[in-house]
Amino acid sequence: MREAQTKVINGSEWMVQPWPGRYGLKMQSRMAKFVGPALGGIGNVDDLLDQDVGAMVSALTEVMDDAPGLVEGMLQGVAVDGKDMSAGTNFDNHFSANFAELYEGLAFVIKVNFGDFSRLVAGIGSLTKADGKAASKTTASPDT
């Protein structure tokens, strides 16, 4: 297993233990389901810059109900100032009126586990394209 990485964010020390392989794949799949509708058919980061931001935000609002569960999953193996952030009370106490740090910290979690956001976006774009092709094959009529 890779070594934990640390970073000071908003005066707090974040320590992120990289996820085990299978958990990382599970989280990538969950993130694809969450972010995928907003990314549509984006295959690479350059395509992201050409997207309609309003349509992306609209697509994200359709899956926001799972956001707390996704964030909770992303915080597995994360300690802030020595406190386990996957524990509900620690999370609630630390991030009350402190969401900017949470979002910056989640970006760090993504970087530790996936390298950088652009690689994750490209991977999710590939997954959503593959899912779309698989769905179109299964829904095609036998006459086509």
Q: Where are the domains of the chain?
A: 5-139
Proportion of the chain above pLDDT 90, given as a percent:
37
Up-side HSE of residue 56: CA atoms within 13 Å toward CB? Answer: 13
| Residue carrying structure tokens 């085990």 | 20
For the stretch 100-143, pLDDT in tens is: 999 899 889 988 998 765 666 666 666 555 555 554 444 444 45
Q: Which of 112, 110, 106 is nearest to 91 (CA)?
A: 106
pTM, whole model, 2 decimals? 0.69
Expressed in percent and rounded to 5, the helix, strand and coil fractions of the chain are 60, 10, 25
**pLDDT value of residue 139:** 46
Question: CA separation (Å) from 52 to 41, 73, 99?
Answer: 12, 29, 26
Query: Is residue 77 pLDDT above 90, yes or no?
Result: yes
Tallying the residues shown for the chain, one arrives at: 144
What dihedral angle (degrees, nearest 10) is formed by the CA atoms of 3, 73, 92, 39? 110
Range from 1-5, 43-47, 115-119 that averages highest in pLDDT: 1-5
H or E, element range at 127: helix 117-139
CB-based contacts of 111, cutoff 8 Å, min separation 6? 117
- C-alpha to C-alpha distance for 36 and 49, rounded to whole angstroms: 15
Decide which of 24 and 53 is more confident: 24
